[in-house]
A and B are shown apart, each in its own frame.
Chain A
Amino acid sequence: MAQGQILAGFLAPHPPHLVYGENPPQNEPRSEGGWEPLRWAYERARASLDALKPDVLLVHSPHWMTQLGHHFLGVRNLSGKSVDPIFPNLFRYTFDLTVDVELAEACCANAREAGLVAKMMRNPGFRVDYGTITTLHLIRPQWDIPVVGISANNSPYYLNTKEGLHEMDVLGRATRKAIEDTGRRAVLLASNTLSHWHFHEEPAIPEDMSQEHPARYDGYKWDMRMIDLMRRGRTREVFQLLPQFIEEAFAEVKSGAFTWMFSAMGYPEIPGELHGYGTVIGTGNAVMEWNLVKAGLVRDARAAVSA
């Protein structure tokens, strides 16, 4: 078996509004559209993912928040209707996903070996969180690639940002080793927004884009500062600034997905490709890609890399 490898990582935020705006058949509510620049950003990300042809998508979601360690979906098939507890008017989505249980088990075992509390979720009636489902739909609406779903342990909030993100760094390295050992060609998805200041009341028409803008100017400026660094490949600076960004922009990357993904990729100092940026109820959302194949950090004959 060839050694597995990580082909790319995507910053892939999960506002259910984007699914609502798209009107896919799986989602009950109907909209008049909305949030087009972000949805078009995901169209570009979808094309790039399609060219990579990964074996598996791994997604770390802040909306499966666990108290006791880091959890992995461990049931081969999970299906049902996911109703967003916060935006039930926008997201009532019928899903059917296939889990790469072997890889999930390897991730879990490696995480335990690295000293983390880690568990496999084996209950077939489990309701997959809307963050996982939204990110997966937005990046791959065909649902034809197996997934590994990873919970967000609450350590960055329960302990502190530094200790919590250290756990995510350990989790990332454990994930990378599992991918390598199982021979998978994997794409990582960090399901996080950037600045997370948001409005507190919903417009009468949720997709009325005349109501959409950054909730706070300082949050927007932080987002642009971080995106600029990411686009220039200055990963070390991004992570030096991350605690301050989290503190001052209330950034959702605190929940750990972004750190987990970069740790798994080895914190590459390569330019991230910005597919698009936009706000959703005032929060800052960037769809970005770090393609390790294009950057020459991974040799992969099977990936049809677009020029």
Chain B
Amino acid sequence: MSIVAAFLVPGSPLPMLRPDNLPWGRIAAGLQRAARALAAARPDVLLVYSTQWLAVLDELWLTRPECAGVHVDENWYEFGDLPYRVRVDTELAHACVAATRRIGVQSKGVDYDGFPIDSGTIVAQHFLDAEARVPIVAAANNLYHSPEQTEQLGALAAQLAHEQGKRAAVIGIGGLSGSILRDEIDIRADRIARTEDDQWNRRVLDLIERADVAGLRAVLPQFRAEARADMGFKHFSWLLGALGGRFYGARTHAYGPVYGSGAAVVEFTL
């Protein structure tokens, strides 16, 4: 495999919109540390999966060479706009579209002016590669795909990057626990919504840091159910698939709340 770096990053736009708010600023600082590690790995392409890009019919892959614009988040519009620019490795993206039939998935490319890039992809791009120096391959979160299918998609994308001789970094964009605070809060006092969620998040992060993949596979179904893990934690499945189910450790650059839900910036040791 030619995966040279791997990261889990949160997709909430709050750290991008309000890094001046201390709880979210800590996440932003963690993302900046991850960006430096990513740059040092000198990838040719970023394999990106965001829980916030939803699909229901077929698997979608971004195939437009460049997308740029200003996005307004549907929840957090009051905090401002999200300018973005992403470049796409269309050669690899088209290869992914063509290849997923191998794993029983029908795919389509997305190459439309004005296509709404999701907040998660925009946030990751902003922090990890603001100048869009490295092209991405972005896959949607088909709501009906299981974690196992998502792992297969990640593995397939990594395999195809390898076949094209590319150094790839894999980025899983999404949160940890999904419980949110349902009332307006003093954002300076943001906190994980439930103590049990905080415990779950720390347990999962500990297993990741110890590279205990078997332990992770054992507890993830419970984590998904009890901590309302963001979209079944499928962004981790994508990453695990791309890594061939193996890594040697991890470093948590940041962990904290984004309006009650759990967010972490994790760099994997390969």
Contacts and interface: CB of A to CB of B under 8 A. Distances in A.
Most chain-A Cβ atoms within 10 A of its Cβ — which of B74, B78, B118, B181? B74
- The majority secondary structure among interface residues of chain B is loop
A301 interface: no
A81 B115 CA distance: 9
Given A86-B55, A126-B77, A200-B57, A67 B115 contact: no
Contacts of B58: 200-202
A179 B246 CA distance: 60
A119 B76 CA distance: 11
Interface stretch (A87-95, A241-249, A256-264): A87-95
A64 B184 contact: no
Nearest to B80: A123
Given A200-B57, A201-B58, A85 B182 contact: no
A145 B116 CA distance: 27
Contact of A117 (B108, B113, B115, B184): B184
Contacts of B72: 123, 125-127
Contacts of B81: 123, 125
B56 A67 contact: no
Given A125-B72, A127-B71, A200-B144, A92 B112 contact: yes
B197 to A, nearest CB: 14
Given A86-B54, A117-B182, A199-B57, A123 B78 contact: yes
Given A68-B184, A117-B184, A125-B72, A81 B114 contact: yes
A121 interface: yes
A66 interface: yes
Given A68-B180, A198-B57, A281-B57, A89 B108 contact: yes
A83 interface: yes
A22 interface: no
Interface residues of B, number: 31
Contact of A88 (B80, B112, B144, B180): B112
A300 to B, nearest CB: 35
Interface string B209-236: 0000000000000000000000000000
Nearest to B71: A127
A239 to B, nearest CB: 25
A65 interface: yes
A67 B75 CA distance: 7
Nearest to A88: B112
A85 B112 contact: no
B95 interface: no
B53 interface: yes
A281 B118 CA distance: 24
A43 interface: no
A191 B117 CA distance: 24
Given A81-B113, A119-B78, 4 more contacts: A81-B114, A198-B56, A200-B58, A202-B106
Q: Which 8 pairs between the two chains have the least Cβ-Cβ distance?
A: A123-B77, A81-B114, A83-B114, A201-B106, A125-B72, A126-B72, A88-B112, A83-B115
Interface of B: 53-58, 70-72, 74-75, 77-78, 80-81, 106, 108, 110, 112-116, 118, 144, 180-184, 259
27 contacts: A64-B74, A65-B74, A66-B74, A67-B180, A67-B182, A81-B113, A83-B112, A83-B116, A85-B116, A86-B56, A86-B57, A87-B57, A92-B114, A117-B182, A117-B183, A119-B78, A123-B77, A125-B81, A126-B72, A127-B71, A127-B74, A129-B74, A199-B57, A200-B57, A200-B58, A202-B106, A202-B108
